[in-house]
C-alpha cells in the first residue's frame, strides 16, 4: 500500500483512474504503480496528472502539488 496527498487550496474529490478515492489535502491510499489523478469539478489545471507511486509511507506520502485554480 502507498500513500498520496493531493494538495489543492479548496476541498475537492480526488479521482484516481476516474474513481473517487478521497478528498484533497487528506492522505489517500493507493496500490504501488502508475496512477492518473484528477479533481472533480472544473476550474483547475492541468486536467490530469500521472505519477509513479512507490516507496511511500503514511509519514512520508507522495505529495502532488501540480493542480492550480484558473
Cell of 69: 485554480
Cell of 54: 512507490
Residues facing 5 on adjacent strands: 27, 63
Predicted pLDDT at 41: 92
Predicted pLDDT at 63: 98
User: Is the domain 2-69 a CATH 1.10.3470 member?
Assistant: no
pLDDT one digit per residue (tens) for the chain, 70 residues:
999 999 999 999 999 999 999 999 999 999 999 999 999 999 999 999 999 999 999 999 999 999 999 9
CB 37 within 8 A of CB 48: yes
Amino acid at each position: 500500500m502507498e500513500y498520496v496527498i493531493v494538495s489543492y487550496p479548496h476541498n475537492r474529490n480526488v479521482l484516481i483512474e476516474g474513481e473517487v478515492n478521497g478528498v484533497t489535502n487528506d492522505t489517500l491510499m493507493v496500490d504501488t504503480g502508475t496512477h492518473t489523478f484528477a479533481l472533480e469539478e472544473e476550474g483547475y489545471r492541468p486536467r490530469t496528472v500521472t505519477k509513479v507511486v512507490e516507496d511511500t509511507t503514511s509519514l512520508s506520502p507522495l505529495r502532488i502539488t501540480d493542480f492550480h485554480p484558473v
